[in-house]
């Protein structure tokens, strides 16, 4: 039988247990209600510049014409050589220009072909080599001005331009400056989705040469083609030649290079509108080429929503359009009627997209029709410095676009003459240049740029692209 002492001892233990439980419960309640200390450790990192390598740019070569006569309906023939310009920093650097073979061009022996521009490691500062070309054809099928930047070869790129419906033609130009063969796949998407084109797969491009592929042969009667170019083996420098013929009259030509890779924000700088003529964004019948439009595609094969803003040079939003992109389909979005001038088009989407904008110029006369067109592509953000080569062309302008919320003062040096250029927040600034100018940009990190040409009945645009991954700085996090 328990003694009185045992009873007391048990009672004390019970009370102690209850007290401990209460303290534990109170501690849990306090822990759940009181704010806990926050400890944030910023991982150490540093930005390093990759070892200098041989820098390389490839120019697309002369414009080509197809089916000039029935006997050579499947043969491409150039219509004269383009004018070529090169810029580098330092200016005294030795630049090598190597022509590539062009077996698909019947007139390559006379007009030449693509040109690979390169500099030995250390001869040119990283990302400070640039090349560009321009050409003004006047034939029965080609008329207008086409300008293009020389690009770095890549194993994955996107071309957004052109059409293959009645009166429109396109040629995909694939240049391989490498020392080994490249196997290229061309996948085309249009307004109704992916296009079955087995002939676009497994295209072999020999080293040091260019292949020419008819876009109409891959995707006939497509109004909004988007071409995804991938390669195995050597990387490829891709371009898309687009031309228009209305009735029997040529009505514009353009040579478009790859757009910025898919991203949730895209910026199209230097979008020049020459004529106050347009189509409302909600018009379901916006066909043809004679109005400003934005081509969009979301590669993720899922529905995407995007907000498209058109900024004037002062940064004001003059047009805003909400658009829903159908899964797997390319869209040409009319941008309405814009006053003549230079604009920046900004796309913010909830999924990665690719983008390019089309503008046009009308000819003279009582009933003017399309005379020329330009495709302005979305560009990547620049690093702090950039080199720009200016080819020949009327009314050439360097367009700097600033998507940030604060004004930026950039330094533009033209053939050794330096000037400061204020670029307003959300806006852009224009600097007059001319063919042959060597332009060096400083203090332009995060900005976007393009070179445009406008004069009379011609219009053209070419991007100023940042260096590719091999030349770009890399942020390193130690383990």
Please determine, for residue 36, whether its predicted confidence score (pLDDT) is greater than 70: no
**Ranges 20-24, 64-68, 140-144, most confident:** 140-144
Please determine, for residue 137, whether its predicted confidence score (pLDDT) is greater than 90: yes
> How would you classify residue 239: left for phi > 0, otherwise alpha for psi between -120 and 50, otherwise beta?
beta
Residue environment code for 226-259, b if the CB has 16+ CB neighbours within 10 A, otherwise e = bbbbbbebbbbbbbbbbbbbbeeebbbbbbbbbb
**Percent helix / strand / coil, the chain, rounded to 5:** 10, 45, 45
Q: In which band, very low, low, confident or very high, does the pLDDT at 279 lie, cut at 50, 70 and 90?
A: confident
* H-type alpha helices, 242-286: none
Q: In which band, very low, low, confident or very high, does the pLDDT at 51 lie, cut at 50, 70 and 90?
A: low
CA-to-CA distance for 152 and 57, rounded, in angstroms? 5
Q: How many CB atoms lie within 10 A of CB 16?
A: 10
pLDDT at 252: 92
pLDDT at 125: 83
Q: In which band, very low, low, confident or very high, does the pLDDT at 418 lie, cut at 50, 70 and 90?
A: very high
Taking the CA atoms of residue 27, residue 29, residue 32 and residue 33 in that order, the dihedral angle to the nearest 10 degrees is -110
Range 430-437 average pLDDT: 96
Largest Cα–Cα distance of the chain, in whole Å?
123
Range 232-256 average pLDDT: 94
pLDDT at 18: 43
CA distances from 137 to 118, 169, 199 (A): 28, 16, 30
Please determine, for residue 372, whether its predicted confidence score (pLDDT) is greater than 50: yes
**Global confidence as pTM:** 0.86
Q: What is the pLDDT of residues 309-345, one digit of tens each?
A: 999 999 999 999 999 999 999 999 999 889 999 999 9
pLDDT at 473: 54
pLDDT at 10: 47
């Amino acid at each position: 039988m328990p003694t009185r002492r045992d009873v007391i001892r048990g009672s004390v233990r019970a009370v102690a247990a209850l007290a401990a439980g209460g303290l534990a419960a109170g501690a849990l309640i306090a822990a759940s209600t009181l704010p806990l200390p926050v400890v944030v450790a910023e991982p150490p990192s540093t930005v390093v510049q990759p070892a200098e390598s041989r820098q390389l740019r490839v120019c697309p070569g002369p414009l080509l014409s197809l089916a000039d006569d029935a006997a050579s309906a499947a043969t491409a023939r150039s219509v004269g050589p383009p004018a070529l310009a090169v810029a580098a920093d330092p200016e005294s650097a030795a630049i090598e220009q190597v022509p590539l073979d062009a077996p698909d061009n019947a007139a390559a022996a006379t007009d030449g072909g693509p040109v690979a521009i390169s500099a030995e490691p250390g001869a040119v500062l990283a990302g400070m080599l640039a090349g560009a070309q321009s050409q003004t054809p006047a034939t029965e099928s080609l008329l207008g001005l086409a300008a293009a930047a020389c690009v770095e070869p890549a194993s994955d790129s996107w071309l957004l331009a052109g059409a293959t419906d009645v009166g429109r033609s396109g040629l995909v130009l694939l240049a391989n400056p490498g020392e080994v063969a490249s196997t290229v796949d061309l996948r085309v998407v249009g307004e109704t989705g992916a296009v079955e084109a087995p002939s676009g797969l497994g295209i072999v491009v020999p080293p040091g040469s260019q292949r020419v592929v008819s876009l109409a042969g891959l995707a006939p009667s497509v109004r909004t083609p988007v071409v995804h170019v991938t390669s195995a083996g050597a990387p490829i420098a891709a371009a898309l030649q687009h031309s228009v013929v209305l009735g029997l009259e040529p009505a514009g030509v353009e040579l478009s290079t790859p757009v910025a890779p898919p991203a949730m924000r895209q910026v199209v700088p230097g979008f020049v509108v020459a004529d106050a003529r347009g189509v409302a964004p909600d018009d379901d019948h916006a066909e043809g080429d004679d109005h400003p439009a934005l081509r969009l595609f979301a590669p993720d094969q899922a529905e995407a929503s995007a907000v498209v803003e058109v900024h004037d040079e002062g940064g004001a939003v003059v047009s805003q359009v909400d658009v829903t992109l159908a899964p797997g389909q390319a869209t040409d979005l009319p941008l309405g009627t814009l006053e003549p001038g230079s604009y920046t088009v900004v796309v913010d989407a909830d999924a990665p997209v690719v983008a390019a904008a089309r503008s046009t110029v009308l000819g003279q006369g009582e009933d003017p029709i399309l005379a020329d067109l330009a495709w302005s592509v979305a560009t990547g953000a620049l690093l702090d410095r950039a080199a720009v080569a200016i080819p020949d062309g009327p009314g050439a302008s360097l367009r700097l676009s600033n998507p940030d919320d604060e004004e930026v003062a950039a330094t533009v040096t033209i053939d050794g003459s330096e000037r400061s250029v204020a670029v307003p927040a959300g806006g852009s600034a224009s600097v007059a240049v001319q063919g042959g100018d060597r332009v060096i940009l400083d203090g332009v990190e995060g900005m976007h740029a393009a070179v445009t040409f406008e004069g009379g009945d011609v219009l053209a645009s070419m991007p100023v692209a940042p260096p590719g991954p091999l030349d770009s700085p890399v942020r390193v996090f130690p383990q």
